[in-house]
Every structure is written in structure tokens, then in C-alpha cells.
Amino acid sequence: MQAFQITEKEKTRFTKIPKPTVKEGEVLVRIKKAGYCGSDLNSFRGLNPLVSYPVIPGHELSGIVEEIGANVPSEIKLGGQVAIMPQTACGKCASCRNKRFNACQFNETLGVQRDGGLTEYLAVPWEKLIADDSLSLTQLALIEPLAVGFHAAKRGQVKTKQNIVVIGCGVIGLGAIAGSKAFGGKVIAIDIADDKLEKARIAGATYTVNSSIENVPERINEFTKGFGADVVIEAVGLPLTYNLAIDIVGFTGCVVYIGYSAKPVSFHTKLFVLKEIDIRGSRGSEPEDFKNVMKAVKAGAVNPEDIVSHTFDFNEADKAIELWSADPSKVTKVVISL
């Protein structure tokens, strides 16, 4: 069967690999849609330390059930549509013992530590599938990145009427906006690009701030009547935005970091103590987050298709990632159709 590989920094190829066989408890999925993620872009650019080449990218996936192995529940049906949860859990590490499987110490994510979904078929444990025939295949594929944002909102324990600031309006940031809105928060979105801020409004932001031309702390004070944000979700991963989150969160507020910086971050820790803030990381997502996103999509609160900026056929997967790498500012989400 056909597969698309990143073979080394800025080098790709289409190649043939064996079609997977289905084992007990597994389902063969014919992949139909795959979204490119920032981790795929970093793999292409040679900046992903978790990747060994060659690697098949792709972990934002949907498809059609082609074959069902033994001992798979009846909820998984031949010909049915499924979204794929891309992470593994060892079941033995500290995270797994605490039932936080999304943060497994030994996780292997599709397209990162193991080959991903830019291929014709994947054999997947049935527990990693969410079956749904009511959404489009594109919507199903993009549940995953939105679920990462929903998980961050959950980590921030967003509550009704709280002021939530989301820094960064890429796809995961948009998920954090939609998740915060779904949990009842009033969202202020920050980005440097007006087109992304427009998508933030569509995703549920009440206010937007273009940080390239506006004074962010002043605007946050204005929107929050001087109290600062109850929760700040950082979805960029730069030293500047890491520090900005601390500056604009209110006293006794919470900062949630999704993005991680490739460079060291220096903090003046005075505000950690004076504000008595909670600082939390957020990694991946859980099945509950997938289900919360799907509820929001079905309720019309957010539509994953609204965040798609480019669509390519599978035979143009190389052109798609080259385009994104050449000018990331013009790309919100790339979807590959197989």
C-alpha cells in the first residue's frame, strides 16, 4: 500500500509498505482524512527531537472501518466512520497509575515516536477509536487537535463567568477557546494575525487582541476591570508568551501551558508567590475531551471545518508540507484527503 514518509530534514518520499494485518482486539481502518499538525511540520524541518527518520507523519485522523478483529465490541461496525486517538499508554508509569493516561511517561504518538496515518490503512486497537457517522470525515479528523485545547481548558478548571485569556490562535488555541466557552468562560484571544483572531471569534472569543499593535496588559486590564484573567492558557511556546501569561493572570488565578519553548525561559518568580497562582502543564487529551469536542460540534458551538485553510490530495502531501514550511503565517490547518 502507499505511504508518505519524511526521510530526513526537508526530504520526503512516497513509498510502498505492507498492508497491516488485523490482530485480536484490532480494527483495520481505511484512512480518509489526515490533518497536518505542528509536530509534523517540526519533523519536516528537522526540529522534532522525538522523531527517528524515516517516519510516516499524521495523527489527526479519520477513516472507515474496513475489517474487524476478534473480541471487538459491537459499537464498531463495518463501513462505519471513526476518529482515531493517537496516543498510547503503558499502564505502569506514575501517570498511568494516577489514571492520567494522556501524560504517560512512555507514550508513543502516531506520526511521532511511531509511524502515523498518512497511508492507506492503519490497524488500530478498538479502544483508540471513536465511532460516529453523523459528522463529516474532516470534522472527525480534526476532533484531535481541538481536544488538546479542550483538555487545557479542563486543566484550568474553567468555570462559568470567569475571564479566560488564550494566547495563540492556532488550531490548539482555537480548541482552548471553544473549550473555555463550552465550560462557561468569557474568552479573550491574543494573536499577532488578524485572520487568526477572526477564527478565534468564530470559535467563541468575546474579545480579541492583536499583540503586534496593541498593549496586551492594558487591554486585559480593560476587559477584566483591573482584576486580570482568572485563567490564562498559553498555546504558543515562546519565552515571551510564557512570561506574558504570568503578567496578565489575576491574583489566585491559574496559568496553563500547552506550548513548550525550545529555548530556556527565565522568570522573575515574585509574582508566583504574590499572586499565589496555580501553574499547570497540559499534554494531549483524554477520551472525555474527544467526547466534549464532539458534543460542542453537534451543538453548533464550533465547527472544525472552519479552521481548515488548505486541502490537498494524498499525492500532494509533499507540496502541502512544503507550502506550510515556507510561510506558516498563511496556514491555519492543512487537511490531506486520501
Q: What is the tens place of the pLDDT at every residue in 28-68?
A: 999 999 999 988 999 999 988 889 999 999 999 999 999 99
**Whole-number pLDDT of residue 215:** 97
For residues 26 and 102, membership in a common domain is answered with yes
For residues 271 and 157, membership in a common domain is answered with yes
Residue 298 covered by a domain: no
For residues 136 and 9, membership in a common domain is answered with yes
Q: Which residues of the chain are modeled with pLDDT < 50?
A: none
For residues 86 and 132, membership in a common domain is answered with yes
For residues 184 and 272, membership in a common domain is answered with yes
Closest CA to 153 of 64, 232, 209, 48: 232
**Whole-number pLDDT of residue 331:** 87
For residues 121 and 184, membership in a common domain is answered with no
**Whole-number pLDDT of residue 330:** 81
For residues 137 and 153, membership in a common domain is answered with no
Amino acid, res. 5: Q
Q: What is the pTM of this model?
A: 0.92
Residue 287 covered by a domain: no
**Whole-number pLDDT of residue 175:** 94
Residue 290 covered by a domain: no
Q: State which residues form the domain around 69.
A: 2-142+308-337
For residues 93 and 182, membership in a common domain is answered with no
- How many domains in the chain? 2
pLDDT, tens digit (0-9, with 9 covering 90-100), for 100-127? 999 999 999 999 999 999 999 999 999 9
Residue 301 covered by a domain: no
For residues 157 and 265, membership in a common domain is answered with yes
For residues 21 and 109, membership in a common domain is answered with yes
Residues 65, 70, 76, CA angle at the centre, nearest 5°?
35
